[in-house]
Structure 1
Amino acid sequence: MAVFLLFIVLLKGQHYLLFSFMCLICSILPAYWRFEHDPISTQTLMFIAVLIALAVATRVPLGAIPGVQGASFVIILSGVSLGPELGFITGSATALVSNMFMGQGPWTPWQMVAWGLMGLTAGLFMKARLSHSLIFMIIFAGVWGYLFGWIMDLWYALAYVSPLTLKSFILAFAASFFPFDTFHAAFNAFLVALFYKTWEKLFHRLVTKYNILPDKNH
């Protein structure tokens, strides 16, 4: 935190995007460092790869429709099934891989953090057993539709809004509230309401049957 405050002073209110990228890198690297150094079974790696592929497959074909894609649903399930750390990895990797088809750019790290945090928080609620409540997960998915949009709005405001004032900042957020954020939230809630219970049972069965998380199963 002290380092971030120091950079704020040194940059003197300029280069917001540069500073934000530094924050993003600092937030992503610890998760990937732990992922690389912790012993992970082949079954777990394969399961994560399948989840990432499934998330990409549900995002890319619907990319032309504002806010409508199934990646968030898969990422939420990944957190519920695998826990917060692997949920973060699945979410952030989904953004990186899917943008190989949809286009990489300065927005990619922001999407990595947004979807990573979505998977991470889903995993935290799994540990708290709140993930067993369908009503709670519908609300959770809808809220994250807006949170995802607001994180991306932050990137947009830092990159393109000039001069960056409180008024212009709020207007940048308001511009995407409808249709993008609202469609994303509504479609997330719709998918969870329709498919969550079935897919949660399926994923739990796969995790248990193939011993994907040994610590969880023993």
Structure 2
Amino acid sequence: MIIRFERSDVNSKELVLIALLIAIAAVSRVPFAGIPSVQPTTFVIIVAAIVLGAERGFVIGAGAALVSNMFLGQGPWTPWQMVSWGLVGWTAGVLKDTFIMKNMSTRLLFGFVWGFLFGWIMNVWVVIGMENHSWSTFVSVYVASFYFDLAHALSNLFFLAAFSSRWVRVLARFKRKYGLVIASSSN
């Protein structure tokens, strides 16, 4: 996705918007760093992908993980976060014209489910890094992460319910006003 984006025709206005959304998503993690798994990053990625599409959603998600970890710490988990948040953006973009993203109830369900999926993908990294690759270790990691995954899912619900409709309208208006024609088969 990132290579495809790199090879696409992106004008300077669109690039500025994408960079701004990456920065907002990344910096929004910092004030919530003391509350594990509660942050508006996933929300920003979802609403950006609803307006800009799958490819841009993936780039914004992956970029948000990379940039936010410049503040919170880079490590071997960073690529996993990049893939996880990239997939959040990609799936939101793929589904942007469906009832799932157009209907608030199903949009909230989407965000809630991704709160858990994000954690489950990150758990793979944890299990791979352990010496004991038994079934009980695998189950223990997933059970131990339940609270954090639930916190992420509930924070996604809150931010999407409170702000997603307005953010989608604002970003769509910005896209129209500045003539950002997103020309890509995945968008």
TM-score over 0.5 for the pair: yes
Preserved CA contact (<8 Å) 2:52 2:93: yes
Pick the aligned partner of 2:37 from 60, 67, 82: 67
Preserved CA contact (<8 Å) 1:47 1:212: no
2:143 corresponds to: 174
Give how far 1:173 is off.
0.8
Compare relative contact order (CA 8 Å, sep 6+) and give the higher one, 1 or 2: 2
1:134 corresponds to: 104
Give the whole-Å Cα distance in 1 for the aligned partners of 2:20 and 2:167.
Answer: 14
Preserved CA contact (<8 Å) 1:82 1:213: no
Q: 2:133 aligns to what SS in structure 1? A: coil
Count of matched residue pairs: 184
Where does structure 1 differ by over 3 angstroms across 4 or more consecutive aligned residues? Answer: none
2:123 corresponds to: 153
Letter in 1 for 2:169: K
In structure 2, stretches of 5+ residues that fail to align are: none
Q: 2:96 aligns to what SS in structure 1? A: helix
Letter in 2 for 1:189: L
Q: Which residues of 2 match residues 1-218 of structure 1 at below 5 A?
A: 31-160=1-130, 162-178=131-147, 180-215=148-183
Give the whole-Å Cα distance in 2 for the aligned partners of 1:54 and 1:108.
Answer: 18
In structure 1, stretches of 5+ residues that fail to align are: 1-30
Preserved CA contact (<8 Å) 2:100 2:110: no
Give how far 1:214 is off.
4.8
Q: CA RMSD in A?
A: 1.2
Q: 1:127 aligns to what SS in structure 2? A: coil
Give the whole-Å Cα distance in 2 for the aligned partners of 1:90 and 1:159.
Answer: 27
Give the whole-Å Cα distance in 2 for the aligned partners of 1:152 and 1:96.
Answer: 15
Q: TM-score, normalised by structure 2?
A: 0.95
Give the whole-Å Cα distance in 1 for the aligned partners of 2:155 and 2:81.
Answer: 18
Q: 1:118 aligns to what SS in structure 2? A: helix
Q: 1:69 aligns to what SS in structure 2? A: coil
Q: Which has the larger radius of gyration?
A: 1
